[in-house]
Amino acid sequence: MSTTLSLTRPDDWHLHLRDGDALRAVLPHSARQFARAIVMPNLRPPVTTTALALDYRRRILDARPHEGPGADFQPLMTLYLTDRTPPDEMRRAREAGIVALKLYPAGATTNSDAGVTDLRKTYATLEAMQREGLLLLVHGEVTDADIDLFDREAVFIERVMQPLRRDFPELKVVFEHLTTREGAQYVQAADRYTAATLTPQHLLYNRNAIFLNGLQPHLYCLPVLKGEEHRRALVQAAVSGHPRFFLGTDSAPHAAALKEQAGGHAGCYSALSALELYAEVFDAAGALDKLEAFASFHGADFYGLPRNRGTVTLKREPWQLPQTVPFGEATLKPLRGGETLAWRVVQ
C-alpha cells in the first residue's frame, strides 16, 4: 500500500474567503494547499461590479503569506449576479480577468438577499456572458416555500437548469456543490458545457450525521447533506474519472458561536485539511489514482486555464486536526476538528 502520493498542485474551484480579519485568518490554510481558488462574491455588500472585485482581489493578495507555501496563491475572481447586473459590465469584467458570475437564487443561502429573483431578468446579461466566455456558477436550489428542502436541487434541474441550457447552450455552467444522485446523473448526461464541483462534506457524510449524538451544527451547510444513496452517487461521480466533476470545497467559515446558536449559520470550514479529506474519500473508494485529475486537471481544463506546475505530496500518516483555529476575535471549528485524519499534506 503506497504511503505517499504526489499530485500536480491542485486548485479549489469554490471557496469563501470572507474579508478583513477573517480573510487574514483563513487564507493561509487554502493557499498552503491550492495554487488557485475561485473566490465567492457573497460578501456584505456583495461583489457585484468589476471595480469591487478588483479591490477585493487586492485585499486577498495582501493577505497572502509573504514567503513560503502560499505566497504565490492566485485568487480567481467572480461577480455576484443580480436581477440588475448590466450586460455591458461583462466585457469590462472579462478584460479585468474576472472569470465567472455566481447565481444565488434570492434567499437560498448566506448573503443571498441580493440574488436573482427570476432568471429571465438576467437573460441579456447571460447572453453577454456567453459571448465573452464568462462562466456561470450556480447555487442549484429553488427556494419556493412549497418545495421540500431536500428536493430543492432536483427541482432546480427541471425548473432552472433545463431552460438555461436550452436558451444558452454555449454558456459554461458549473453546478456548484452538487448534493444529489439526480444532480450527478444530470451532469453526466449533459454536454461539454456543464460541469459540477463536489465538496468534502457531501462526499464524506450523509444527513444522518447532522442528527447523531445530538445536533451537529458544524455539519450544517447549504445545500444541506442528503441521504446515503445520494452520497454514494456523488462518490461514484468523483472517482469515475469523468472530466466534468472536480474539486470545490465550498469551505465557508463562520465563527463557532454563530453556528452553535439558535438560527445557526450554514457552512462547513474544510480549508484546513481539504486535500486530506478528499484523499480519504478516494482512498476508501480504492481510487487514489483518480485523485490528481479530480483535484488538479478537470477544473482547469473546464475553465480553459493552464494546469498548474509543481506538486504537493500527501503522506499516509495519522495526525490530529486542531479543535479550533483563531478567526479574528472569534474561533472557528474546522470540519473534523479534534479528530485524527489518515492523510497529511507534507508539501
- Does position 199 bind ligand DOR by CB under 6 A? no
Distance CA 219, CA 201 (A): 8
- Candidate list 153, 182, 250, 292; residue touching Zn ion; CB under 5 A: 250
Measured from the CB atom, is 246 or 282 closer to ligand DOR? 246
Q: Supply the minimum distance, in Å, between the C-beta of residue 286 and ligand DOR.
A: 30
Size of the site for ligand DOR (CB under 6 A): 10
Cα–Cα distance for residue pair 20/60, rounded to 1 Å: 9
Nearer to Zn ion, 115 or 292 (CB): 115
Contact set for ligand DOR, span 72-91 (CB under 6 A): none
**Cell digits for 41?**
462574491
Between 125 and 251, CB nearer to Zn ion: 251
CB of residue 104 vs Zn ion: minimum separation in angstroms? Answer: 9
Q: Report the nearest approach of ligand DOR to the CB of residue 139 (Å).
A: 5
Greatest extent of the chain over all pairs of C-alpha atoms, in Å: 55
Q: Does 249 bind ligand DOR (CB under 6 A)?
A: no
Our finding on whether 24 is near ligand DOR (CB under 6 A) is no
Residue 331 half-sphere exposure toward CB, CA atoms < 13 A:
9
**Which residue number, 110 or 236, has a Cβ lying nearer to ligand DOR?**
110
Cβ proximity to Zn ion, 33 vs 112, nearer residue: 112
Residue 153 within binding range of Zn ion, rule CB under 5 A: no
From CA 248, how far away is CA 198, in angstroms rounded?
A: 6
Quickly count: other Cβ atoms within 10 Å of residue 63's Cβ: 21
What is the end-to-end Cα distance of the chain in Å, rounded? Answer: 20
Of Zn ion, ligand DOR, none, which one sits near residue 219, judging by CB under 5 to 8 A according to partner kind?
none
Q: Tell me the residue type at 285.
A: A
The length of the chain in residues reads: 347
195 binds ligand DOR (CB under 6 A): no
Strand ranges in the chain using DSSP code E only, listed in sequence order: 4-8, 12-15, 36-39, 74-80, 100-103, 135-138, 173-175, 194-198, 245-247, 311-320, 325-327, 330-332, 340-345
C-alpha torsion angle, residues 255, 258, 261, 265 (rounded to 10): -120
State the binding partner of 105 from Zn ion, ligand DOR, none, CB within 5 to 8 A by kind.
none
Does position 49 interact with ligand DOR (CB under 6 A)? The reply is no
Q: Is 252 in the site for ligand DOR (CB under 6 A)?
A: yes
* Phi, psi angle pair for 3, to nearest 5°: -110, -15
Query: If binding is defined by CB under 6 A, does position 16 make contact with ligand DOR?
Result: yes
Catalytic residue among 250, 283, 289, 301: 250
Return the C-alpha cell found at 53: 472585485
Is residue 333 within the footprint of ligand DOR (CB under 6 A)? no
State yes or no: residue 225 binds ligand DOR (CB under 6 A): no
CB of 269 or CB of 294, closer to ligand DOR: 269
265-294 footprint of ligand DOR as x/- string (CB under 6 A): -xx---------------------------
Helix (H) or strand (E) holding 162: helix 162-167
Q: Rounded to whole angstroms, how far apart are CA atoms 171 and 182?
A: 21
Whole-angstrom distance, CA of residue 195 vs CA of residue 174: 5
> Which residue in the set 24, 29, 36, 139 belongs to the binding site for ligand DOR (CB under 6 A)?
139
Residue 250 is among the residues annotated as catalytic for this protein: yes
Residues that bind Zn ion (CB under 5 A): 250
Residues designated catalytic: 250
Residues that bind ligand DOR (CB under 6 A): 16, 42, 109-110, 139, 221-222, 252, 266-267
